[in-house]
Each structure stands twice: as C-alpha cells, then as structure tokens.
Amino acid sequence: MDLWSLSDLSTPWALRVVVTLRIAERLAEGPAQVGELARAAGCDAAYLRRTLTHLASKGVFDEPEPGTFALNDAARGLLDEPLRLFLDLDGVGGRLAGAWAAFLPAVRRGEPAYRELYGMTFWDDLEAHPRLSESFDALMGPAGHGDFDPEILVGGDWDGVSEVVDVGGGTGAALAAILRARPGVRGTLVELPATAARAAESFAAAELAERATVIPGSFYDSLPAGKDVYLVRKVLNDLPDREALALLRGCAQAAGVSGRVVVVGSVSLEPIARGGLTPELVLVGGTERTLEDFRELAGQAGLVVSATGEQRSGRTVVECRPESPGRRAGGLPRV
C-alpha cells in the first residue's frame, strides 16, 4: 500500500481549484494556452499552469504541447453538474472541503467542530449566507441528485392518501414529483425560510401552487397535524441521534394514530457497520443507520417500522406507524 499517495492533498485541492475557475468549461470548445485560460479565469498563469500540469500527470486533462491544455475523458467528468457543485469552492463545496480542517477536534470531542471553524453551526451558516444556501439547495436538488422518484410508499399503497408533508424537503423537487404523479394528492413542505421561499417559487413555476403549501420554519417546531404521510427524505443521515430522535418524535406526534412516517434514503437495509467517513459526519455529525439502528431510534420516538423496500433508484424506503399495543416490529413485509 502506497501511504504517500493516500496522503496526497495536492490533487484533491487542484481539482477543486480548476472546477471553481471553470477551466473545463473554458476548454469545452477546444485546447487553449494557459495564458488565455488564466485571463478568462482571472488568475495567475504560472500557478494555473503548474496546477494543470499536475492534474495532467494524474490523467486529468491533456497537455498536447507545453503550456497548452485540452479536455480528455477524465476532465470532461468535471462538467458533470453534481460533481461541480460538490467541488466548487465558491459554494457549499468550499464549506465541505474546509470543514475537514476541523476533523481532529471533532474526533477528539466526538462532535462536529464546524462551529469552532466558522463561528456557527452549518445550518446557521446557510441561513446567514444566501449564496451558500442557494448552492446547497442546488446540490440537494435535481441538479445534484437527479430526478426524484415519486414512488415513496412500499408496494405503491396510496389508498387513502390525500395529503403528504415533506419534512425538510429543500426547494420542493421531490414533493413536486409526487404531486405531478398523483393529481389527487395535496402537499405541504416544511423548510427554513430562505429555502422555503425558493420552494414556493418552484411550485408556482410548475403550476402546482394550488396543491402545495409551504411552511417556513424549523422542522423541529410543530408540524401540521393529521396528514396521511410524513416524508423524511435524505434528512436523517444529516442528523446525530439526539436531533434525529427529536425529528421523528415530531413526525410521530403530527401523524397521530392513522398517519405514516416514511423515511427515504437514510437507512441501510443491509447489516453493515454503522457509519463511515462522510461529509455529513464532518459537517453536522450525521450518519447512515442500519435498519436495527433505525428501529431502536424509531421505537424511542413512538414509532414501529411497518414495511421496508427500495425505490427503482435503489434508495431505501422505511415506513413507520405510531406504536400501538397491537402492532409490533417483527414480520415486516419487504417489497
């Protein structure tokens, strides 16, 4: 094993710099001299040349002549929108990269050190910086995650479902996909104010405003009660256990005796070891959970796992119902 190559910092940072400077986009029409690229990007030509030469030595970009650079198959991958959003240092990608500088104190204390690094929590940082919030919403939305699968219920059991609450649903792409697929369903989205405003604009542009209600605020506050489905999609993996439990309790209370809480994409149905080194861990202390991990957490929130399955995309679906004396966690149907 080559520990020196595993310890390399130059290549990951070089990739982030060229993505932020839009070098791949500037080479999309053909090879260019480094001086021309530097002028267009507003950077130093000598530094840029050394950066691109390093990446070319790693197989990203070609250098057909000294100081002239061109796209190759690997460099064309930098044009991919999800990867660009993840690597762009001028957006949330900069926070993702910078947060690793606080990894040592995070490991020592067993909690994210984001506040120590930036002076506030990640979520407060988003609220305080609109451009950062916009780039995060883009990364979490269709540009970053692709099209959303509207089939969020195990076995497609939509009988009796007329209202869906999307808890922490970003700019509403997932809820919009559900409403388009189910014309008889109404939706409510709960999100922080800046993102909620963008969601309202998205619903209006999609001509779904009459069926979509947007509630600005924290999903730790009281959720609209008595609805049929409470969707928690790709949220729980952003939360440590205490916060995840608070969210699930809020959903359970709002669902009452007849609603369902549906968790998409945050629970592994395989008996894997808990967690791993993920951006969620470093930024906010979040983790992926096994089904057993989640069942224990759901039980503390007053929920019982009633069904599990997968979407066509492979994202897991875990349905929960409020706990009652006649309902137990064993014998779960799986689709």
Q: What is the CATH number of the domain that holds 229?
A: 3.40.50.150
Give a yes or no: residue 295 inside a domain. yes
Across all residues in the chain, what is the average pLDDT?
A: 89
What is the DSSP pairing of strand 163-167 with strand 62-65?
A: unpaired
Confidence of residue 133 (pLDDT cuts 50, 70, 90): confident
Same domain, yes or no, for 57 and 103?
A: no
Among 75-79, 169-173, 196-200, top mean pLDDT goes to: 75-79
The residue type at 137: D
Give a yes or no: residue 160 inside a domain. yes
Answer whether residue 328 shows pLDDT above 60: no
- Find residue 322's DSSP bridge partners: 303
pTM of the predicted structure, to 2 decimals: 0.80
pLDDT at 88: 95
Answer whether residue 325 shows pLDDT above 90: no
Give a yes or no: residue 229 inside a domain. yes
Quote the domain boundaries for residue 45: 3-79
- Domain boundary, last residue among 43, 63, 79: 79
pLDDT at 270: 80
Answer whether residue 330 shows pLDDT above 50: no
Answer whether residue 295 shows pLDDT above 70: yes
pLDDT at 281: 82
Convert the pLDDT of each residue in 122-132 to its tens digit: 888 988 898 99
- Domain boundary, last residue among 50, 79, 108: 79
Convert the pLDDT of each residue in 24-59 to its tens digit: 999 999 999 999 999 999 999 999 999 999 999 999
Q: What is the CATH number of the domain that holds 20?
A: 1.10.10.10
Same domain, yes or no, for 265 and 232?
A: yes
Q: Can you tell me the mean pLDDT for 164-190?
A: 94
Give a yes or no: residue 331 inside a domain. no
Same domain, yes or no, for 26 and 119?
A: no
Same domain, yes or no, for 72 and 195?
A: no
pLDDT at 111: 83
- Domain boundary, last residue among 33, 63, 79: 79
Same domain, yes or no, for 54 and 176?
A: no
Answer whether residue 146 shows pLDDT above 80: no
Residue pair 228/162 in contact by the 8 Å Cβ criterion? yes
Same domain, yes or no, for 123 and 138?
A: yes
Q: Can you tell me the mean pLDDT for 204-215?
A: 95
Same domain, yes or no, for 175 and 270?
A: yes
Give a yes or no: residue 327 inside a domain. no
pLDDT at 272: 63
Confidence of residue 147 (pLDDT cuts 50, 70, 90): low
